[in-house]
Amino acid sequence: MPTTTQPDLRWTLLAGGDVLMDRSEAAGIDPFAGIDPLLASGDIALVNVEMVISDRGEPREDKEFTFRAPPSAASRIAAAGIDVANLANNHAADYGPEALLDTVDLLEAEGVIALGAGATSADAYRHRITEVRPGVRVAFVGASMVVPLGFPATGTRPGIASAYQQDRVLASVRAAAGEAEVVIAVVHWGVERMTCPDARQRDFAFHLLQHGADAVIGQHPHVLQPVVLDDGKLVAYSLGNFVWHYRSGITGDTGVLQIDFDGAEIVDWSLYPHQLDINGAPMPAGDGTRVNRIVDIVSGNCARHQPPPTTAAAEPKTDAEDESEGEAEGETDGESDAETDPEGETESGRSEAESDADDGETAESEPAANGG
Protein backbone atom coordinates (compact mmCIF):
# COMPACT_ATOMS: atom_id res chain seq x y z
CA MET A 1 0.00 0.00 0.00
CA PRO A 2 1.57 3.34 -1.00
CA THR A 3 2.43 5.71 1.80
CA THR A 4 1.33 9.30 1.72
CA THR A 5 3.69 12.00 2.79
CA GLN A 6 2.69 15.19 4.51
CA PRO A 7 3.46 18.32 2.50
CA ASP A 8 6.28 20.48 3.81
CA LEU A 9 4.52 23.42 5.42
CA ARG A 10 7.63 25.12 6.74
CA TRP A 11 8.10 28.71 5.61
CA THR A 12 9.78 31.92 6.69
CA LEU A 13 8.86 35.57 6.96
CA LEU A 14 11.68 38.12 6.74
CA ALA A 15 11.09 41.65 8.02
CA GLY A 16 12.98 44.92 8.17
CA GLY A 17 12.17 48.25 9.72
CA ASP A 18 11.86 51.74 8.24
CA VAL A 19 12.86 52.24 4.60
CA LEU A 20 13.75 55.73 3.34
CA MET A 21 15.22 55.91 -0.17
CA ASP A 22 15.04 59.59 -1.08
CA ARG A 23 18.83 59.90 -1.29
CA SER A 24 19.88 56.39 -2.29
CA GLU A 25 17.43 56.14 -5.19
CA ALA A 26 18.32 59.58 -6.50
CA ALA A 27 21.96 58.43 -6.50
CA GLY A 28 21.16 55.13 -8.22
CA ILE A 29 22.23 53.07 -5.18
CA ASP A 30 20.62 49.71 -4.40
CA PRO A 31 20.41 49.76 -0.59
CA PHE A 32 19.20 46.16 -0.45
CA ALA A 33 22.14 44.59 -2.29
CA GLY A 34 24.28 43.80 0.77
CA ILE A 35 21.59 42.33 3.01
CA ASP A 36 22.21 38.79 4.29
CA PRO A 37 19.97 36.86 4.10
CA LEU A 38 18.58 38.46 0.97
CA LEU A 39 14.96 39.42 1.43
CA ALA A 40 14.05 37.42 -1.67
CA SER A 41 15.16 34.24 0.14
CA GLY A 42 12.13 34.39 2.43
CA ASP A 43 8.69 33.18 1.48
CA ILE A 44 7.39 36.63 2.46
CA ALA A 45 9.37 39.80 3.10
CA LEU A 46 7.97 43.01 4.53
CA VAL A 47 9.21 46.48 5.46
CA ASN A 48 7.78 49.85 6.41
CA VAL A 49 8.09 52.33 3.52
CA GLU A 50 8.69 55.66 5.29
CA MET A 51 8.35 57.94 2.28
CA VAL A 52 6.28 58.94 -0.70
CA ILE A 53 7.11 57.28 -4.03
CA SER A 54 6.08 59.79 -6.68
CA ASP A 55 7.17 62.74 -8.77
CA ARG A 56 3.98 64.65 -7.99
CA GLY A 57 2.80 66.84 -5.16
CA GLU A 58 4.24 69.56 -2.95
CA PRO A 59 5.74 69.07 0.50
CA ARG A 60 3.34 69.83 3.31
CA GLU A 61 4.10 73.21 4.80
CA ASP A 62 3.11 72.12 8.30
CA LYS A 63 5.76 69.36 8.41
CA GLU A 64 9.42 70.15 8.77
CA PHE A 65 10.56 66.78 7.44
CA THR A 66 9.00 65.43 4.26
CA PHE A 67 10.39 62.45 2.37
CA ARG A 68 9.91 61.53 -1.28
CA ALA A 69 11.70 59.10 -3.58
CA PRO A 70 11.37 58.91 -7.38
CA PRO A 71 8.98 56.36 -8.96
CA SER A 72 11.87 53.98 -9.70
CA ALA A 73 12.04 53.21 -5.97
CA ALA A 74 8.98 50.98 -6.32
CA SER A 75 10.68 48.66 -8.80
CA ARG A 76 13.82 48.57 -6.66
CA ILE A 77 11.74 47.55 -3.64
CA ALA A 78 10.10 44.79 -5.65
CA ALA A 79 13.42 43.62 -7.09
CA ALA A 80 14.74 43.21 -3.55
CA GLY A 81 12.08 40.56 -2.94
CA ILE A 82 9.82 42.66 -0.74
CA ASP A 83 6.23 41.45 -0.85
CA VAL A 84 4.51 43.76 1.65
CA ALA A 85 5.18 47.48 2.18
CA ASN A 86 3.44 49.08 5.14
CA LEU A 87 2.38 52.66 4.37
CA ALA A 88 0.51 53.32 7.62
CA ASN A 89 3.05 55.80 8.97
CA ASN A 90 3.71 59.52 9.48
CA HIS A 91 5.35 60.18 6.09
CA ALA A 92 3.08 58.39 3.59
CA ALA A 93 1.11 61.57 2.83
CA ASP A 94 3.99 64.06 3.02
CA TYR A 95 3.29 65.27 -0.54
CA GLY A 96 -0.48 65.17 -0.55
CA PRO A 97 -3.17 62.67 -1.56
CA GLU A 98 -2.16 62.31 -5.21
CA ALA A 99 1.41 61.37 -4.30
CA LEU A 100 0.15 58.92 -1.68
CA LEU A 101 -2.02 57.23 -4.30
CA ASP A 102 0.97 57.17 -6.67
CA THR A 103 2.88 55.32 -3.97
CA VAL A 104 0.13 52.75 -3.63
CA ASP A 105 -0.29 52.32 -7.38
CA LEU A 106 3.43 52.08 -8.16
CA LEU A 107 4.02 49.44 -5.50
CA GLU A 108 0.95 47.41 -6.43
CA ALA A 109 1.94 47.53 -10.12
CA GLU A 110 5.23 45.89 -9.11
CA GLY A 111 3.42 43.13 -7.21
CA VAL A 112 4.08 44.61 -3.75
CA ILE A 113 1.14 44.79 -1.34
CA ALA A 114 0.71 48.43 -0.27
CA LEU A 115 -0.62 47.99 3.25
CA GLY A 116 -2.42 50.42 5.54
CA ALA A 117 -3.19 53.20 3.03
CA GLY A 118 -5.49 53.86 0.13
CA ALA A 119 -8.00 56.04 -1.65
CA THR A 120 -10.59 55.65 1.12
CA SER A 121 -10.76 54.33 4.66
CA ALA A 122 -12.17 51.06 3.33
CA ASP A 123 -8.94 50.59 1.36
CA ALA A 124 -6.64 51.70 4.16
CA TYR A 125 -8.10 49.50 6.90
CA ARG A 126 -8.68 46.35 4.85
CA HIS A 127 -6.60 43.25 5.40
CA ARG A 128 -4.64 41.70 2.56
CA ILE A 129 -4.08 37.97 2.01
CA THR A 130 -1.42 35.93 0.25
CA GLU A 131 -0.88 32.15 0.17
CA VAL A 132 2.58 30.83 1.05
CA ARG A 133 1.77 27.11 0.93
CA PRO A 134 -1.34 25.24 -0.20
CA GLY A 135 -3.79 25.81 2.61
CA VAL A 136 -1.58 28.31 4.44
CA ARG A 137 -2.92 31.81 3.86
CA VAL A 138 -1.27 34.81 5.51
CA ALA A 139 -3.16 38.03 6.14
CA PHE A 140 -1.69 41.46 6.86
CA VAL A 141 -3.19 44.47 8.64
CA GLY A 142 -1.38 47.83 8.87
CA ALA A 143 -2.02 50.79 11.19
CA SER A 144 -0.18 53.79 12.65
CA MET A 145 -0.17 55.32 16.12
CA VAL A 146 1.84 58.29 14.79
CA VAL A 147 -0.70 60.27 12.80
CA PRO A 148 -0.10 63.82 11.56
CA LEU A 149 -2.89 66.25 10.73
CA GLY A 150 -4.94 65.17 7.72
CA PHE A 151 -3.25 61.77 7.32
CA PRO A 152 -6.12 59.40 8.32
CA ALA A 153 -8.15 58.05 5.43
CA THR A 154 -11.88 58.78 5.46
CA GLY A 155 -14.77 57.70 3.31
CA THR A 156 -13.83 60.35 0.75
CA ARG A 157 -10.18 61.21 1.50
CA PRO A 158 -7.05 59.18 0.69
CA GLY A 159 -4.88 58.45 3.69
CA ILE A 160 -3.61 55.90 6.15
CA ALA A 161 -5.15 53.57 8.72
CA SER A 162 -5.04 55.20 12.14
CA ALA A 163 -4.56 52.95 15.16
CA TYR A 164 -6.60 55.47 17.17
CA GLN A 165 -9.58 54.02 15.34
CA GLN A 166 -8.78 50.95 17.41
CA ASP A 167 -12.14 49.22 17.02
CA ARG A 168 -11.82 49.39 13.25
CA VAL A 169 -8.27 48.01 13.27
CA LEU A 170 -9.25 45.18 15.59
CA ALA A 171 -12.28 44.39 13.42
CA SER A 172 -9.94 44.07 10.45
CA VAL A 173 -7.73 41.69 12.45
CA ARG A 174 -10.74 39.56 13.40
CA ALA A 175 -11.92 39.45 9.80
CA ALA A 176 -8.42 38.45 8.69
CA ALA A 177 -8.29 35.67 11.27
CA GLY A 178 -11.54 34.30 9.87
CA GLU A 179 -10.09 34.05 6.36
CA ALA A 180 -6.43 33.17 6.89
CA GLU A 181 -4.37 30.74 8.92
CA VAL A 182 -1.83 33.40 9.96
CA VAL A 183 -2.39 37.09 10.71
CA ILE A 184 0.46 39.63 10.82
CA ALA A 185 -0.23 43.12 12.17
CA VAL A 186 2.23 45.85 11.18
CA VAL A 187 2.14 48.92 13.43
CA HIS A 188 3.94 52.28 13.39
CA TRP A 189 4.18 53.25 17.05
CA GLY A 190 6.35 54.06 20.05
CA VAL A 191 8.69 56.81 21.16
CA GLU A 192 11.69 57.76 19.06
CA ARG A 193 15.07 56.52 20.35
CA MET A 194 13.54 54.57 23.22
CA THR A 195 14.91 51.01 23.17
CA CYS A 196 12.14 49.71 25.44
CA PRO A 197 8.49 49.67 24.31
CA ASP A 198 6.11 51.96 26.14
CA ALA A 199 2.81 51.06 27.76
CA ARG A 200 0.76 51.98 24.68
CA GLN A 201 2.77 49.63 22.50
CA ARG A 202 2.38 46.78 24.97
CA ASP A 203 -1.32 47.47 25.43
CA PHE A 204 -2.09 47.65 21.71
CA ALA A 205 -0.03 44.54 21.01
CA PHE A 206 -2.05 42.68 23.66
CA HIS A 207 -5.32 43.67 21.99
CA LEU A 208 -4.08 42.75 18.51
CA LEU A 209 -3.00 39.29 19.68
CA GLN A 210 -6.25 38.80 21.59
CA HIS A 211 -8.27 39.56 18.48
CA GLY A 212 -6.45 37.11 16.24
CA ALA A 213 -3.00 38.39 15.27
CA ASP A 214 -0.23 35.80 15.42
CA ALA A 215 2.60 38.31 15.13
CA VAL A 216 2.94 42.07 15.53
CA ILE A 217 5.81 43.83 13.77
CA GLY A 218 6.55 47.43 14.71
CA GLN A 219 8.52 50.40 13.47
CA HIS A 220 9.00 54.14 14.13
CA PRO A 221 11.33 54.49 17.17
CA HIS A 222 14.40 54.54 14.83
CA VAL A 223 16.10 52.05 17.16
CA LEU A 224 15.70 48.36 17.77
CA GLN A 225 13.40 47.16 20.54
CA PRO A 226 12.84 43.66 21.98
CA VAL A 227 11.41 40.70 20.12
CA VAL A 228 9.18 38.56 22.33
CA LEU A 229 7.83 35.08 21.55
CA ASP A 230 5.33 33.90 24.14
CA ASP A 231 2.78 31.11 23.90
CA GLY A 232 3.19 30.89 20.13
CA LYS A 233 2.65 34.64 19.56
CA LEU A 234 5.43 37.04 18.55
CA VAL A 235 5.85 40.79 18.99
CA ALA A 236 8.78 42.63 17.42
CA TYR A 237 8.31 46.06 18.94
CA SER A 238 10.67 47.94 16.61
CA LEU A 239 13.05 46.89 13.86
CA GLY A 240 14.81 50.25 13.68
CA ASN A 241 16.09 52.11 10.63
CA PHE A 242 16.46 49.50 7.91
CA VAL A 243 17.33 51.77 4.98
CA TRP A 244 17.87 55.36 6.03
CA HIS A 245 20.21 58.32 5.93
CA TYR A 246 23.67 57.55 7.29
CA ARG A 247 23.77 56.83 11.02
CA SER A 248 26.80 55.57 12.93
CA GLY A 249 25.35 55.19 16.42
CA ILE A 250 22.43 53.33 17.91
CA THR A 251 20.03 54.54 15.20
CA GLY A 252 22.33 52.84 12.69
CA ASP A 253 21.87 49.47 14.39
CA THR A 254 19.37 47.32 12.54
CA GLY A 255 18.73 43.78 11.39
CA VAL A 256 16.72 41.29 9.41
CA LEU A 257 14.10 39.52 11.50
CA GLN A 258 13.36 35.95 10.45
CA ILE A 259 10.24 34.25 11.78
CA ASP A 260 10.06 30.50 11.14
CA PHE A 261 6.65 28.89 10.70
CA ASP A 262 5.43 25.34 10.42
CA GLY A 263 2.07 25.85 8.77
CA ALA A 264 0.25 28.31 11.02
CA GLU A 265 2.58 27.82 14.00
CA ILE A 266 5.51 30.05 14.86
CA VAL A 267 8.34 27.70 15.81
CA ASP A 268 11.32 30.04 16.12
CA TRP A 269 12.76 33.46 15.34
CA SER A 270 16.17 35.00 14.81
CA LEU A 271 17.58 38.43 14.05
CA TYR A 272 20.57 38.91 11.76
CA PRO A 273 22.45 42.02 12.96
CA HIS A 274 23.17 44.73 10.38
CA GLN A 275 24.54 48.25 10.50
CA LEU A 276 23.91 51.15 8.16
CA ASP A 277 26.81 51.99 5.87
CA ILE A 278 27.82 55.40 4.54
CA ASN A 279 24.88 55.27 2.08
CA GLY A 280 22.39 54.36 4.80
CA ALA A 281 22.18 50.79 3.47
CA PRO A 282 22.10 47.79 5.84
CA MET A 283 25.23 45.66 5.83
CA PRO A 284 25.80 42.46 7.86
CA ALA A 285 27.57 43.06 11.17
CA GLY A 286 29.92 40.35 12.40
CA ASP A 287 30.86 41.14 15.99
CA GLY A 288 31.85 43.93 18.32
CA THR A 289 30.18 46.18 20.85
CA ARG A 290 27.46 47.35 18.48
CA VAL A 291 26.48 43.78 17.66
CA ASN A 292 26.46 42.96 21.36
CA ARG A 293 24.11 45.90 21.85
CA ILE A 294 21.81 44.68 19.07
CA VAL A 295 21.63 41.21 20.60
CA ASP A 296 21.11 42.65 24.07
CA ILE A 297 18.21 44.86 23.03
CA VAL A 298 16.29 42.36 20.92
CA SER A 299 16.75 39.72 23.64
CA GLY A 300 14.93 41.98 26.10
CA ASN A 301 17.76 43.76 27.92
CA CYS A 302 16.62 47.10 26.55
CA ALA A 303 16.65 49.32 29.64
CA ARG A 304 20.44 49.46 29.93
CA HIS A 305 20.59 51.01 26.45
CA GLN A 306 17.69 53.43 26.94
CA PRO A 307 18.77 57.01 26.16
CA PRO A 308 17.73 59.43 28.92
CA PRO A 309 14.94 61.89 28.05
CA THR A 310 16.65 65.24 27.60
CA THR A 311 14.32 67.09 25.24
CA ALA A 312 10.76 67.89 26.29
CA ALA A 313 8.13 68.44 23.63
CA ALA A 314 5.97 71.48 24.29
CA GLU A 315 2.50 70.35 23.26
CA PRO A 316 -0.95 71.47 24.45
CA LYS A 317 -2.38 69.03 26.98
CA THR A 318 -5.18 66.79 25.82
CA ASP A 319 -7.43 64.54 27.83
CA ALA A 320 -4.87 61.84 27.21
CA GLU A 321 -1.67 61.52 29.20
CA ASP A 322 1.07 63.80 27.92
CA GLU A 323 4.42 62.16 27.34
CA SER A 324 7.72 63.68 26.30
CA GLU A 325 10.86 61.61 25.92
CA GLY A 326 13.94 61.63 23.77
CA GLU A 327 17.54 62.50 23.30
CA ALA A 328 19.63 64.36 20.76
CA GLU A 329 23.33 63.66 20.42
CA GLY A 330 23.73 66.13 17.57
CA GLU A 331 21.85 69.05 16.11
CA THR A 332 18.10 68.57 16.54
CA ASP A 333 15.15 70.03 14.71
CA GLY A 334 11.51 69.57 15.68
CA GLU A 335 8.23 68.94 13.94
CA SER A 336 4.79 68.90 15.48
CA ASP A 337 1.49 67.72 14.11
CA ALA A 338 -1.95 67.56 15.69
CA GLU A 339 -4.90 65.74 14.21
CA THR A 340 -8.60 65.87 14.78
CA ASP A 341 -10.38 63.43 12.52
CA PRO A 342 -13.34 64.86 10.57
CA GLU A 343 -15.35 61.94 11.94
CA GLY A 344 -14.74 63.27 15.45
CA GLU A 345 -11.73 61.34 16.74
CA THR A 346 -8.65 63.09 18.07
CA GLU A 347 -5.75 61.36 16.41
CA SER A 348 -2.36 62.58 17.51
CA GLY A 349 -0.33 65.42 18.85
CA ARG A 350 3.33 64.74 18.45
CA SER A 351 6.71 66.36 18.22
CA GLU A 352 9.11 64.57 15.91
CA ALA A 353 12.74 65.44 15.57
CA GLU A 354 15.51 64.32 13.30
CA SER A 355 18.87 65.51 12.10
CA ASP A 356 21.59 64.40 9.76
CA ALA A 357 23.89 64.67 12.73
CA ASP A 358 24.45 61.19 14.15
CA ASP A 359 21.45 59.95 16.10
CA GLY A 360 19.68 63.29 16.06
CA GLU A 361 16.18 61.88 16.50
CA THR A 362 14.27 62.88 19.56
CA ALA A 363 11.08 63.58 21.42
CA GLU A 364 7.40 63.10 20.75
CA SER A 365 4.12 63.45 22.56
CA GLU A 366 1.11 61.35 21.63
CA PRO A 367 -2.25 60.57 23.20
CA ALA A 368 -3.19 57.14 24.42
CA ALA A 369 -5.15 55.02 21.97
CA ASN A 370 -8.91 55.46 22.14
CA GLY A 371 -11.08 52.54 23.14
CA GLY A 372 -8.58 50.56 25.14
pLDDT by residue, tens only, the chain of 372 residues: 444 556 799 999 999 999 999 999 999 999 999 999 999 999 999 999 999 999 999 999 999 999 999 999 999 999 999 999 999 999 999 999 999 999 999 999 999 999 999 999 999 999 999 999 999 999 999 999 999 999 999 999 999 999 999 999 999 999 999 999 999 999 999 999 999 999 999 999 999 999 999 999 999 999 999 999 999 999 999 999 999 999 999 999 999 999 999 999 999 999 999 999 999 999 999 889 999 999 999 999 999 998 765 433 322 222 222 222 222 222 222 233 333 333 323 334 333 333 333 333 322 323 322 222
The answer as to whether 241 is a domain residue is yes
Note the pLDDT of residue 327. Answer: 26
Would you state the pLDDT for residue 286? 87
Residue 156: count other Cβ atoms within 10 Å of its Cβ: 9
Q: In degrees rounded to 5, what are phi and psi of residue 338?
A: -130, 140
pTM score of the predicted model: 0.85
Q: What is the CA radius of gyration of the chain?
A: 19
Q: Are 313 and 365 in contact (CB under 8 A)?
A: yes
Looking at the domain assignment, is residue 119 inside a domain?
Answer: yes
What local confidence, expressed as pLDDT, does residue 356 receive? 32
Q: Is residue 99 part of a domain?
A: yes
Amino acid identity for residue 319 in this structure: D
Q: How many domains does the chain fold into?
A: 1
Residue 142's nearest CA partner among 49, 69, 51, 72 is 49
- The DSSP result for 232-277, as a single string, is TEEEE--B-EEE-S---SGGGEEEEEEEEEETTEEEEEEEEEEEE-
Contact at 8 Å (CB) between 284 and 36?
yes
* Residue 336: inside a domain: no
C-alpha–C-alpha distance, residues 126 and 142, integer Å: 8
Residue 329 lies in a domain: no
Distance CA 67, CA 227 (A): 28
For residue 71, what are the CA distances in angstroms to 37, 74, 81, 109, 200?
26, 6, 17, 11, 35
pLDDT attached to residue 6 = 63
16 in a domain, yes or no?
yes
263: left (phi over 0), alpha (psi -120 to 50) or beta: left
Residue 272 C-beta-side C-alpha neighbours within 13 Å: 17
pLDDT for res 299:
98
Residue 22 counted as domain residue: yes
- DSSP state at residue 205: H
The pLDDT assigned to 351 comes to: 33
- CB burial of 40-57 (b: ≥16 within 10 Å; e: otherwise) equals eebbbbbbbbbbbbbeeb
Q: Which amino acid, 223? A: V
Q: What are phi and psi of 85, to 5 degrees?
A: -120, 110
Q: What is the DSSP letter of 309?
A: P
Question: What pLDDT does residue 309 have?
Answer: 54
pLDDT of residue 341: 34
DSSP letter, residue 368: P
Assigned domain for 66 exists: yes
Instruction: Assign 3-state DSSP to the chain and report helix, strand, coil percentages, each to 5.
Output: 20, 30, 50
Q: What is the CATH number of the domain that holds 134?
A: 3.60.21.10
Q: How far apart are the first and last CA of the chain?
A: 57
**pLDDT at residue 96, rounded to an integer:** 98
- Could you tell me the residue range of the domain that residue 214 belongs to? 10-303
What is the longest distance spanned by two Cα atoms in the chain? Answer: 76
